[in-house]
Structure 1
Amino acid sequence: MTDTKNTKSEAQWWKAFPEAKSKCPEVTADDVMKLIDDMDITSEPRSFLLVDVRRDDWVGGTIKTSLNLPAQSFYQSRSSSGRGPRCAGWMQDYIDDVAKFGKKSNIDVSVLKGGIKGWVKEFEGMFMDGFEEGKWEELK
């Protein structure tokens, strides 16, 4: 039996925190794959950081080269829908706030369109660490 009260409060965790001012654009799985592929053929320093904001629901794998910074490290969260865009917005807000004090940056934050599920649908586990096909059966 599901505890509706608890589920509802968890689903609205973000209401206790400021709304992100920034609305970050989406980047497609194909665009991210190109960035990963280009790392092997260019001597240029890496120009992107791929952040996975899942905490305890990353069963099934994560995209190679990604850094895990759980949404809970931004603010407490338990929501998978909206978690990425909110965290991206908060990160871009932080970058923009730091820029007000003379620390300008050319860092732009984007959200992976479709999230990890979109990645798995597009690439079927390619370039994933710890990929477990059985965990993604619902996407077929």
Structure 2
Amino acid sequence: MSNGARDLVFQRWVSAASPTLDHGKVPDRSRYTEINKGGDRHGALEWSYGTKPSDDDPLTRMVGVGIIPEADGNAATVEFWFGARHDDRYMRRPVSAILFGMDDDWGVVEQNLAEAQEAADGIQEADLTQLVPALLWPS
């Protein structure tokens, strides 16, 4: 696929996804703010959302959606993930993936994103078992 054709496919998917992923009810917009809005990340369109740490919850929690369009642009693999970070520890895990047509019911995407948020909200500090790679690099 040429870069021009790829860009058109990506534009179509961003337009189709925007009502749900930019303005939907999930994740909980009172806690999760948008980090990435349909940006190209290694050949996928990614929307990601995160919370800020607070006195009640020291973790930064994150959920995300990656849309990986097929070459013809009519369908895509849609992946959902969750994670959290605190100080030098983090974790990130996949929740689910679906094969999705651009004209399918976006309620399925919202439901999978809600499951990702539920998983992120359930993370405890003890679950953060990985070291943040950038903090391992010498200064």
User: Could you say whether these structures have the same fold, taking a TM-score greater than 0.5 normalized by the shorter chain as the test?
Assistant: no
**Relative to total residues, which structure has the larger helix share, 1 or 2?**
1
Q: Work out which structure has the larger RCO, using CA pairs closer than 8 Å and 6 or more positions apart in sequence.
A: 1
Q: What is the TM-score when the length of structure 1 is the normalising length?
A: 0.29
Q: What is the TM-score when the length of structure 2 is the normalising length?
A: 0.29
**Relative to total residues, which structure has the larger strand share, 1 or 2?**
2
